[in-house]
Amino acid sequence: MEANNNFIKSMELNKVNAYYEVLDFLDPELVAVLSKLPKNIIEKIEEIRLRNGKPLMISLGSKDYFVSKNGSLVLEPNGCTNITHKHIAKTFQLISNYSIYSIEEELKNGFVTVRGGHRVGVTGKAVYGTNGLETIRDISSLNLRIAKEIIGVSNKIMSYIIKKPNTIYNTLLVSPPQCGKTTLLRDIIRNISDGIAAINFYGMKVGVVDERSELGGSYRGCPQNNVGIRTDIIDSCRKHEGIMLLLRSMSPSVIATDEIGDEKDIKAIHEAIKAGVKIISTVHGDGINDILSKPRFREVISEKVFERIILIDNANGVGTIQDIVDGASFKSVMR
């Protein structure tokens, strides 16, 4: 019981520290307000949103709240802290370390990853050139998404993913948005990479295609999140291209990627499996029937590419494991 309590306290401390890391990138006037929020609220905050001319807003527990001038959360915007152009400009300066040119490549993707692995979504005026979208100017909104790494969140399900003697099942995580599948995938990657001595699993080389910089949270080439000692990351790369690059260059035993989508992704996954590489990935969906209703996923599921399918929802809080099923029979392996 004491060990569990210490684990919970450690998670809470990490969440609070992550929040204050993000505040380092905000206009000091906003920091003065956001610093007044109580610790029990800070632990749960997922996003801080700045919209020019609109009230300061935070998201927690899949709900949005306005922030009053005295640092309390309210449901109505009256009397709340309003975001001005000055707040946006100062915050963007801090995010870019006073050099917009240093982040222009990232801006093409609509977000910037900052120290600590936190991601800042950016909207404004899109500027096009001969090579397509070049940058975003006249910034109108910033969404600071707090990276909340939870070490150990996958420990209880690793026995369903690991295949003796020292490999894994091809695994697909299925979940609606904002139900914790990326957090779970990140910790699965860590466990696969580091190994788990207690069950004689010695770890495998993992290649991660981190298209949206959410898994590794790389900052200047260094992952800010713990993704394991045998992990190589290709950051801000399209999934199908990243999979092929890893196959050619890093001889991975496992390739992990978040949110497979189009036919190119699925074709690349087939190539990886033909090369003897294991795959672990995620997809948006409300269950088996939902993903089977999508033609491109129906094919890959019917081909039994994925040997384990982990179904996630938020029925008992974010990251609830609804079931783990066999990819061939769709029968639960948990019961």
What's the average model confidence in pLDDT over 199-210?
96
pLDDT at 10 (0 to 100): 46
Which amino acid is located at 211 in the chain?
A: E
Return the half-sphere exposure (C-beta side, CA atoms, 13 A cut-off) of residue 119. 23
Q: Does residue 275 share a domain with residue 221?
A: yes
Looking at the 3D structure of the chain, how many domains does it have? 2
Interval 257-287: pLDDT, tens: 998 878 899 999 999 999 999 999 999 998 8
Interval 90-132: pLDDT, tens: 999 999 988 888 888 888 888 998 988 899 999 999 989 888 8
What is the distance between the alpha carbons of residues 12 and 18, in angstroms, rounded to a whole number? 10
Burial class (CB in 10 A: 0-12, 13-18, 19+), 151: middle
Q: Does residue 174 share a domain with residue 130?
A: no
Handedness of CA 217, 223, 226, 231 (dihedral sign): positive
Q: Does residue 120 share a domain with residue 86?
A: yes
Element (H, E) at 35: none
* Residue that is last in its domain, among 124, 145, 166: 145
CATH number (domain holding residue 168): 3.40.50.300
Residue 132: give the domain boundaries.
2-145
* Residue that is last in its domain, among 99, 121, 145: 145
What is the distance between the alpha carbons of residues 281 and 260, in angstroms, rounded to a whole number? 7
3-class secondary-structure state, position 85: helix
What's the average model confidence in pLDDT over 62-89?
93
Q: Is residue 335 domain-resident?
A: no
Q: Is residue 332 domain-resident?
A: no
Q: Does residue 96 share a domain with residue 17?
A: yes
Instruction: List, in order, residues 6 or more apart from 55 with CB less than 8 Å away.
Output: 66, 67, 77, 80, 81, 82, 83
- What one-character-per-residue DSSP string does 246-302 give? HHHHT--SEEEES---SHHHHHHHHHHHHTT-EEEEEEE-SSHHHHHTSHHHHHHHH
What's the average model confidence in pLDDT over 300-323?
88
Interval 139-178: pLDDT, tens: 999 999 998 888 999 999 999 999 988 999 999 999 988 7
With contact defined as beta carbons under 8 Å apart, do 43 and 15 qualify? yes
Interval 110-121: pLDDT, tens: 899 898 889 999
Q: Does residue 257 share a domain with residue 198?
A: yes
